[in-house]
Amino acid sequence: MTSVIVAATPFHGHVTPLLTTATDLAARGHDVLFLTGARYAGRVRAAGLRFAALDPEADFDDRDMDASFPGFADVPPGPGQHAFFWQRVFADAAGAQHRQLTALLTEFPADVLVHDTIFLGALPFSLADHPGRPVTVCLGVLPPMLTSADAPPFGLGAPYTADRDRIGALNTELREAYADMQRDIEKTFAGLGVPLPGFIFDCAVTAPDHYLQLTVPAFEYPRADAPASFRCAGALPPSAGGAYDPPDWWPQLGAGRPVVVVTQGTLANDDLTELIVPAMRGLDGLDALVVAATARPDGPAEVHRLLPDRPGNARVEGYIPFDLLLPYADVLVTNGGYGGVHTALHHGVPLVVAGDTEDKAEVAARVAWSGVGVDLRTGRPAPERVRDAVRTVLSDAAYRQHARAMRDEFARHDPLQALAAVVGGAAR
């Protein structure tokens, strides 16, 4: 048996995949402690794991970022918002995270420390060269941030190019955009006694003993200069939604019309005029069943307020388990969360992506590059752009073929076994 600390930044899209892996490790007989935000205590304990809450200095509520980080709502999407995230949300928490991990390791001397990409307080353990430190494993729950001569960098939302001159210019632009954050994180790490040896985006990938990207090679840009510790381990299987009482219109899903599912995910759904409402307007009159999954209990009422004359082909729900809905879907229109996109591809469903916040522009670029969908290159598309993109995906069989090929590649990878092999090999 191996003892493992799993540390997750308190975002829903980070906690969920790490909780899946932690639960699997515990089922294999390992002793697992899960460290994340206080609001996730119930979920972690319900999974049968011991729980440790992040210190308040490093904790926040991802459902209201502006309350946790005043000024966040005023920063427009793009590199400026990315820099805000990295400086205020991730870099500023690194010191408190590291101090808490150090204290936890005295009480729970773990053999392995598993963490997500942006839990920066774990990096000093990877960078320190002293006996007895845990083996470090980073799980890539967002596109890899490693800069490369072979692919555009993470953080600018640039579409794929193989032009090395263009890539070099983008790498320079990236470092300039994040220069202030880099200086701050270097000071933080120096204060911890572990100098940061390079650009933080690179160190987040190269420093851990093992870096397992939770996708397949076909969904990630090729990089000949990636370190040997980096590999695409595969996409985690979608979680089952549990018991569900389907609405009265559910039999319409099998009636022969194409099914278009529209979602803004589980967190970025405060403003339904970003995607759900324009998508419903744009798809009005299309010979398809449009299912708007708002992922909020008041979603149907809010859509009715914003769109009183609901299109006749639209159905609006608060919560629908995607493991039940996506087998019927012909297209998923989404804002591009990494987990949601992979869930669609697990079902072989092609995509239309409208995302420009957090890592969503990077995910959208990979959707276009891999041929599994259309990138609208905006987070607030006009209705006609959604309509045209959906028509394109429905009429061009190549998108469905690429999505199904991706589904088949997913089936050939087992990320849970890949992590279990690393953890099993680290037992003292």
Taking the domains of the chain in order of start, what are their residue ranges?
3-234+413-424, 250-411
Q: Within a 10 A sphere around the Cβ of 414, how many other Cβ atoms?
A: 15
- Does an H or E element contain 52, and which? strand 50-53
Q: For residue range 305-328, list pLDDT tens digits in order.
A: 999 999 999 999 999 999 999 999
**pLDDT higher than threshold 90 for residue 246:** yes
- DSSP H/E element including 345: helix 338-346
Neighbours of 299 (CB within 10 A): 20
Give residue 428's pLDDT.
56
- In this prediction, residue 264 carries a pLDDT of 94
357-367 pLDDT per residue, tens: 778 999 999 99
- Whether residue 379 is predicted with pLDDT greater than 70 in this model: the reply is yes
Q: Does the domain made of 250-411 have the CATH classification 3.40.50.2000?
A: yes
pLDDT, residue 71, reads 82
Contact 61, 89 (CB under 8 A): no
| Helices and strands, counts by H and E, the chain | 17, 13
Q: For position 149, what pLDDT does the model report?
A: 98
Model confidence at 243, in pLDDT bands (50, 70, 90)?
Answer: confident
The mean pLDDT of the chain is 94
SS3 state of residue 360: helix
Alpha helical stretches, state H, 28-71: 41-46, 65-68
Residues 403, 407, 413: CA angle, nearest 5 degrees: 145
Asked if the model's pLDDT at residue 427 lies above 70, the reply is no
Nearest to 135 by CA among 108, 103, 111, 99: 111
Rounded CA-CA distance 428/414 in Å is 25
Is pLDDT at 383 greater than 90 in this prediction? yes
Higher pLDDT, 338 or 76: 338
Average pLDDT over residues 58-75: 85
- Burial of 333 per CB tally in 10 Å (0-12, 13-18, 19+): buried
pLDDT of amino acid 263: 97
Q: How confident is the model at residue 88 (pLDDT cuts 50, 70, 90)?
A: confident
User: Per-residue pLDDT for 180 more than 90?
Assistant: no
| pLDDT (tens digit per residue) in 14-56 | 999 999 999 999 999 999 999 999 999 999 999 999 999 999 9
Q: What does residue 85 show for φ and ψ, rounded to 5 degrees?
A: -55, -50
The pLDDT, as a whole number, for residue 7 is: 99
Residue 289: alpha-carbon gap to chain centroid? 28
CA angle (157 as vertex; 155, 160 as ends), nearest 5: 115
Rounded Cα distance, 101 and 109, in Å = 10
410: three-class secondary structure by DSSP: helix
Determine the average pLDDT of the residues in 174-194: 91
More confident residue, 349 or 156: 349
The pLDDT assigned to 372 comes to 99
**For 358, left (φ over 0), alpha (ψ -120 to 50), or beta?**
left
For the segment 368-373, the average pLDDT, to the nearest whole number, is 99
CATH 3.40.50.1100 fits 3-234+413-424, yes or no: no
Angle at 393 between CA 159 and CA 400, to 5 degrees: 95
Look up tokens 């990236």; give the residue.
174
Are 213 and 204 within 8 A, CB to CB?
A: no
Task: Assess whether the region 3-234+413-424 and the region 250-411 belong to the same CATH fold.
Answer: yes
